[in-house]
Amino acid sequence: MKFEGTSVAMVTPFTKNDEIDEEGFRFNINRLIDGGVEGLLAAGTTGESATITLNEQMRLIELLVDEANNKAYTIAGAGSNSSRESLELVKHAEDVGADSALVITPYYNKPQAHGLIEHYKLINDSTNIPIILYNVPSRTGTDMDVETMVEIAKFDNIVGVKEANPDLDKISRIKKALAIEGIENDFTILSGNDDLTLPIMSLGGKGVVSVAANISPKGVSDMVRYALKGDYESALKIHYELYNLMKILFCESNPVPSKFVLNAMGIPAGHVRLPLTDLKDKSKIAIKDVLNDLSLI
């Protein structure tokens, strides 16, 4: 199965007792599906993967698959800086029936290029679930280069990448390198930055793993569908309508602004776990101005 369109990097709602709000998470799954998105990602960066436990991460994947119930493409956040732990998460995602697993480049330990290849080869050879690479150097300290990505793309189960490097030239170089290897139709490029989704799609990307779609699932998914049809005039109109929202959601560390917005809209989100904490007052004011402009509150 090959994904294209809009997938939402979902927040993980917490209760006041700092447990996963399972009812709220299920509510959000249905709200986003009703909003028209094609896919849902649980336990990614926006889902606070860094501060949820392994058991909580597995539980979120289970909840996603159960509640989505084939009404949306399900993506399991399954990355770690430990290859063994990442493999455990990918196996769990496969066992519970997720459509794919999103596997971030290992963070902090900064593996060499050949280490990255071995990391993904281990996961590829040990499972049968489709795997989406996640390259986000601002978070991990590692930027997977084009040559390494294309080498990994040759593995049977590697189906695409969520590319969150803001270098648009890299998208062109990835596409050209994939074409040279004859695998450009087997590997999907997805935007990892909402504000760059449209430019990336104009270069051959097929969609986005979106933070902003938590807030405006219809807007983001409509924009992406227009772009997939080649109607860039309509897509561009929505891009500029949502542009300030896309930017303001990163005024402080993700997902702090997103959770503030969702709470303001009466949508289950709860607090963020330490070391993340509440927004500064000036950020709250700026965000509320954007929300009022979009009539979201």
Asked whether the beta carbons of 262 and 249 are under 8 A apart, the reply is: no
Continuous segment of H or E residues that includes residue 132: strand 131-135
Burial grade of 131 (CB within 10 A; 0-12, 13-18, 19 or more): buried
Our answer to whether residue 232 is catalytic in this structure is: no
SS (H, E, C) 195-241: HHHHHHHHCCCCEEEECHHHCCHHHHHHHHHHHHCCCHHHHHHHHHH
Select which of 2, 110, 121, 134 is catalytic: 134
Partners of 209 in the β-ladder: 7
Please enumerate, as own/partner, the contacts of 227-232 that have beta carbons within 8 Å and a separation of 24 or more.
227/197, 227/198, 227/201, 227/202, 228/4, 228/5, 228/201, 232/198, 232/202
Which residue has 């590829």 as its token pair?
Answer: 124
Q: Is 8 annotated as a binding residue?
A: no
Instruction: Give CA 182 to chain center in angstroms.
Output: 27
Annotated catalytic, 134? yes
Q: Is 209 annotated as a binding residue?
A: yes
Which of 73, 91, 107, 162 is flagged as catalytic? 162
Question: Distances from the Cα of 223 to the Cαs of 88, 132, 198, 200, 213, in angstroms?
Answer: 36, 22, 8, 13, 11
Which residues are part of the catalytic machinery? 134, 162
Residues placed in the known binding site for pyruvate: 46, 209
Q: Which residue positions form the known binding site?
A: 46, 209
